[in-house]
Amino acid sequence: MGFVLDTCILIEIENGNKKVIRKINDLKHGQADEFFITFFTYCEFYYGAINKSERNKQKVVERLKNYKLLNTSQITAITFCELLIESKNKGRPIPYFDLLIAALCLERGFTLLTQDKDFQEVPGLKVKILL
């Protein structure tokens, strides 16, 4: 089983949120589970560092290397499009990056760790809200 860390969780880790870090550590204990980030999470997190000094940007890149990176496939694209249509038809569109992250989790059967309750709207997505 695998877990995908959403961008908001990476930010909480970066900010030293002990409660979130403890919950993640509890998931690690005694299990062979792996933790991943998506290509889109990488982009969002790095984008937050763009206006920082070169040294700080390098630190962000180094920290991001601690996570296994999930990339997209044709299945991701198909799943994303289906989720997008479904969310638009419900009249409650979800941001594209969030749907792409959800599509990757669905494709691989991974659980998303997030603080964003909008992900609970995605059918079939395993979500753990860490508040």
If the chain, 131 residues long, is cut into consecutive pieces of 10 residues, what is the mean pLDDT of each piece?
A: 93 94 84 84 92 89 92 96 94 92 96 95 95 87
Of 111, 121, 125, 123, nearest to 35 by C-alpha is 111
Count structural domains, the chain: 1
Can you give the CATH number for the domain in which 9 is found?
Answer: 3.40.50.1010
Of 29, 31, 45, 23, nearest to 130 by C-alpha is 23
pLDDT at position 4 is 96
pLDDT at position 126 is 97
DSSP for residue 34: E
